[in-house]
Structures are given as C-alpha cells and as structure tokens.
Amino acid sequence: MAGVAAAIAALGLAELVAALLAPTASPVLAVGALIIDLVPAWVKDLVIGFFGTADKLVLIISIGLVVLVLAALAGILEYRRAPWGRVLVVAASALALFAAFTRSGSAAFDALPSLVAAGVGTIVLTVLVRRLSNRPAGEGAMDRRGFLAFTGASAGVGILALIGGQLLLAGTRTADAARALFTLPPASVPGAPIAAGASLDVAGITPIVTANRDFYRIDTALQVPRIDPSTWRLRITGMVENEVEISFAELLALPLEESTTTLACVSNYVGGDLIGNAVWLGYPIRKLLERAKPTGDADMVLSTSSDGFTAGTPLEALTDERNAILAVGMNGVPLPLEHGYPVRMVVPGLYGYVSATKWVVELKLTRFDQEQGYWTPRGWSALGPVKLSSRIDVPRSGVPAGPVVVAGVAWSQHVGVSAVQVQIDDGDWNDATLADAISIDTWRQWMYTWPATPGSHTVRVRATDAEGRVQTSATRDVAPDGATGLHQISVTVT
C-alpha cells in the first residue's frame, strides 16, 4: 500500500507539472510513445488486431498496471531491504526522463515531471515505510490508523493532482481554440461537383464521401499534436536551390484547390475499413517545390510532422499531374486535430505511411539511398503505391431468398476502376453495375443484384483496373506493402 500510494502521489504530481509546463513530457505518455517506437512491428500488429483503434487506451492502461505492480514491489522492497524501494522509484523516473528526451523537440523543461516523480515518490515512500517500521511496541492499532491516513492522503493528493492536470490541459488548448475560430477560405479552384451518379441508392453501402467523424485514424501519436497555427511554419530543405519557408497565413493566401481523394492505410486488410474518401482543400505541393527548385539528384521528399513522424515520398509523385496537396480543409471544415490540423499532406495513390504526413512541418528533399521514412526500418516497404482492391459492404447479415443487392466499393487509385465482378460460391463471375467515377483517385461504388437461393453461400468480389489488370486472388499479408486477395463474405439465405 505504501508503494502504491507513493506511486500515485508521484505520478499525479508529475502529470500536473507536465500539464502546466511540459505537456509532451507527461511521464505516462512519453513512456507510451517510447514503447510505440520500440516494439517490433509484429507486436504492434497483434495489439491493433486485438484492440483496433482502442490500442492507445490499452497501452495507457497497461502502463498504469505495470506502474501499480512496480509500486507494490517498491513498497515491499523499501520495507524489507531499504533503500531498494527508493532505488526502484528513481529508476522508473529515470526511464520517464529518458523517454521524454527521446521525443522530438524536447527541451530542458521536459526533465521536470520525472524529477518531480522521483522526488515525491522517494519522500512519500520513505515517510510511509518509516511509520510502519518504527512502530513502538503496544501501540500497533494507533499506528495502523496513522499509516492508513498518510497513505490515503498521499494517494488522494496524487489523484487530485492528476485530475487537476487534465482539466488544465483541456482549458489551455490554443490549437483547439484557434481551430474553432478559423473559417476555411473558399477554394480558388473548386473541385468538380460530385455527380449524383457517383452514389448508388443502396441501404448500408459506404457513403461516397466519408464523414470526418467516421474517417479512420492511424498515427503513432499518443497525444494529438496541438499546433498553434500562428506559429506553424513549413520549411522546404535539403537538396534544393532555395530553401522555402511558409507560414499558415501565407499558405491560406495562396489559391487553394479542392479535390476528392481516397486515403488508404497499408495496414488495411482485404475487406477492412482503414480507408476513407474526403473532399480536401489545399495547395499543390508541386507549386511549392517549384519555388524551392529541387536539385537533379533528389528523388525523395522526407516529410516530418511536429511529433517526429516521417514519411518518404517519391519526388515524382509530388511533382507529376496528380493532386498531391498540403491540405488545410477536410470535407468543408478545417482539418480535425486528429487528422493533422493545421496542415497535412494528401497524395493520391500512395498509402498514408509513405505520403500523408499529418501536422507536417518540414519537407526535406533527399534520396531513397540516404534516408528512410518512419515505417521503413520497421518492416514496411520504402515504396507504397495503393493496391487495386474491392470490398463488399452489404448484405451484412442473413437475407431472405430472392433478389439480394450485393454492393460495396472498389478502388485502383491513380489508374481507375473499369469493372467489378461478383462470384457466388464457385460460379461464374458476374458483372456488377458501377456508379459514376468521381476521378481515378477515388473509390467507386458498385452493386450487383443476386438471385439468392436458400442455403449458405460465399460471395466474392474482384475489381479490374482501367489498364485491364484483374485484382489478384493471391492472398498476401498487409506487411510489407499492402494486402492482396479477394474479399468474400458468407451469407445465409432463408
């Protein structure tokens, strides 16, 4: 109990100090971020497989549990083998200190929360364990009460500090306030309106444009970076003739263009939902690169986010005719904080991990033989073009016999989808009806009316791209460069 109370007091006060002075040095979150960076890819895949996008919550809870176990251990050690309990407290604080300093953009202030944890933890532990050890004979009952009071008080202070820190954080979020006040400038180049024919009238089909609140979120950020847009700068560096630096106000003053682009995650398994389609507002990266004038030998743009994440994008994908943009708007509103506010990259046809840097602050012109993006040394391919794929959205459950609408989406970014076919059990492939394409860079809805007969059936889908390539049935895992195979569902017809 002494150990646990000391740990709660130490962590609570450390988190309060972090909230006041150094939000990125929160011991729990810094250690969590370090773990995210260190665990092997397969562990990450396993955790995401089990817990989906609750993975970060699971990580924080796990850290909490480990802290409690270590804390109890520190209490026992301090009672039986002083000063080893204190040594454990100091070691744990040192780990938090190390973690805080491995975060990008760390400053001297970031040491404070861990120092507070070490100080409070050792003092409270010492005081509590002394009360247990120096018990005068015959007064056991009194002492137990005193010990419990001290223990309760320490834990109480810790919990109050923790709550206070979180409230404070919620109140001082410049980024949130700035985003709330900010209205997007109108597009100078409006996107082509989305034709009514792009949406099929099928209940339960994926909407052609994904609402922001339904848009999948994938990133390594345990805390969403909160950037004050008035201090945001994008720097274009490396192999360039002119370094370019641009502020948020300058970016907004440029002629912004609207484009509808599908964004997919390389970790999307066949049939999965780590893919979304949005109307983005932004400025072509190509035009900023023209100002910077990349030198002849550059072949990669290493984009860096404010939290240190990096993506390596082929220079060509940012300079060719596709709509590779620095996006500020998503479906008519400023980028949501968790989708990269104030500025992110969106590059049609490349998986997010090699292109879609959120909270982007630097574009460095470099070479693939000199630098790597975040995920490449972690087992993912340096290049990540999005693979031709298709998904069945409906039916979701059993259906009555008769005509049944099978429908979903298919994508072949930057090439376009030309056909979708559906197979029932091991029968022939039947052509589905395609909705109008918004562009070759967006997914396309499809539907097929299946004359369903009673029994249990397998329904499979495959797409063909505009160059005549048929989606492969060979199954491959998401690593290293995206899953392949055909999506199939089992349907019970009654």
Ligand X SMILES: Nc1nc2c(c(=O)[nH]1)N[C@H]1C(S)=C(S)[C@@H](COP(=O)(O)O)O[C@H]1N2
Question: Which residues share a beta bridge with 366?
Answer: 300
Binding characters for ligand X, 247-286, by CB under 6 A (x = yes): ----------------x-x---------------------
Q: How far is the CB of 23 from ligand X (least distance, A)?
A: 17
**Residue showing tokens 């980028």:** 335
For the segment 339-368, give every residue that binds Mo ion (CB under 5 A).
352-353
Q: DSSP per residue over 9-78, as a string? A: HHHHHHHHHHHHH-GGG-HHHHHHHHHHHHS-HHHHHHHHHHHGGGHHHHHHHHHHHHHHHHHHHHHHHH
At 126 the three-state DSSP class reads helix
Return the residue of 277, 305, 313, 412 that touches ligand X, per CB under 6 A. Answer: 305
Count of residues in contact with Mo ion, rule CB under 5 A? 4
344-383 positions binding ligand X, by CB under 6 A: 352-353, 356-359
Among 280, 309, 411, 450, the residue binding ligand X under the rule CB under 6 A is: 309
d(CA 98, CA 111): 9
Segment lying near Mo ion (by CB under 5 A), choices 167-175, 183-191, 212-220, 465-473: 212-220
341 binds, among ligand X, Mo ion, none (CB under 5 to 8 A by kind): none
Residue 142 CB, shortest distance to ligand X, in Å, is: 56
Report the alpha-carbon distance of residue 390 to residue 420 in Å, rounded.
8
Residue 378 structure tokens: 């972690």
Total residues binding ligand X (CB under 6 A): 19
Nearer CB in complex with ligand X: 97/263: 263
Residues 322-341 that bind ligand X (CB under 6 A): 339
Q: Does 374 bind Mo ion (CB under 5 A)?
A: no
**Strand runs (DSSP E) across 212-256, as ranges?**
233-238, 244-247
Decide: is 479 part of the binding site for Mo ion (CB under 5 A). Answer: no
CB 351 → Mo ion: shortest distance, Å? 6
Q: Is residue 218 near ligand X by the rule CB under 6 A?
A: yes
**How many CB atoms neighbour CB 326 within 10 A?**
26
Angle at 349 between CA 346 and CA 351, to 5 degrees: 70
The dihedral formed by the CA atoms of 339, 286, 348 and 44, expressed in degrees to the nearest 10: -50
Q: Which parts of 405-464 interact with ligand X (CB under 6 A)? A: none
Binding site for ligand X (CB under 6 A): 215-221, 263, 265, 305, 307, 309, 339, 352-353, 356-359
